[in-house]
A = this chain, B = another copy of it.
Amino acid sequence: MKPAKISVLAPGLIGGSVALACSRAFPDSTLFVWSRKQESLAPVQKSLPKAKTGTDVSGAAGSDIVILGAPASALTDLVRSLLPHLTLQTLVTDVASVKTSVEKELAPVLQGRARWIGSHPMAGSEDSGFTAARADLFQGAPVILTPGKSTAPDTVRDVSAFWQALGARVTRLDPEEHDRQIARISHLPHAVAAALVRAAGTSGLPLAGPGYRDTTRVAAGPSAMWAEILLGNRTEILTGLRDLRQGVEQLVTALEKQDRLALAKFLDEAAQIRRNLSGS
């Protein structure tokens, strides 16, 4: 995978980090960065003086790979405007964290027009925008590719090689299974962290220790983006929230009955699962 030209469309936290990482991993490639707004490109030009930038997607013409950094709701329009500048050989991928709907919308549009596959880099922070982007964001991060029914094996291979060149650990899931698992491991934690911040309130905040800080960190993330993500994967997240609600009921019952054994068992089963996770 040695792309002569790479285009990054919509350089937010993830797209911007892709651009920064590409300038290191592929120093000889031409890098084009597109944004809808000219003012969003100023910090990009400052960080990546060799990159070409523009607000016209035609600048992406001739790319070997196009990375779509836009949120899921903006992808279809963006891809339609991009179609005239793609070839059958152009790789196209995105970075949205909901994949079933993206696959359903983009696969038919790109079928026979480019080599499309969805990507979900499991990286980021509670910050957003290009100013939060980091060249090393994908070092050791999981990136999930979500091939659809019409995805060719060489598309999987080439986009895998691209992410691996940025330091990522690439895995594959079909879009539906991706959304099921990510609902539990990413979207549900976000929703619960927000509910926890609200229930914890503000009066004790000056006493907040590392437990509160870590448990609630993601809740500081961009609300509009997360509202879109949660709605995009709502069926799976609702199942997760109902399971959570059941767990909260168990806790309430154990505390009301002062049932130390039930409470310790509840906590211990969680501790066993969490301790099995490597790293911290």
Which A residues contact B (CB, under 8 angstroms)? Answer: 122-126, 141-142, 144, 171, 180-182, 184-186, 188-224, 226-228, 230-231, 234, 237-238, 240-252, 255-256, 258, 260, 263-264, 266-271, 273-277, 279-280
Contact = CB atoms under 8 A, between A and B. Distances in A.
Nearest to A251: B191
B263 A231 contact: yes
A93 B131 CA distance: 47
B215 A237 contact: no
A98 to B, nearest CB: 13
A250 to B, nearest CB: 8
A192 B258 CA distance: 18
B252 A141 contact: no
Contact of A226 (B125, B202, B228, B267): B267
A235 to B, nearest CB: 9
Given A205-B277, A241-B251, A270 B194 contact: yes
A271 B189 contact: no
A231 B245 contact: no
A116 to B, nearest CB: 22
DSSP majority for the A interface?
helix
Contact of A181 (B144, B204, B244, B276): B204
A199 B275 contact: no
Given A171-B207, A191-B251, A207-B185, A215 B215 contact: yes
- Name the residue among A196, A205, A266, A280 with the largest chain B CB count within 10 angstroms: A196
B248 A209 contact: no
A214 to B, nearest CB: 4
Most buried by B among A224, A247, A249, A269: A247
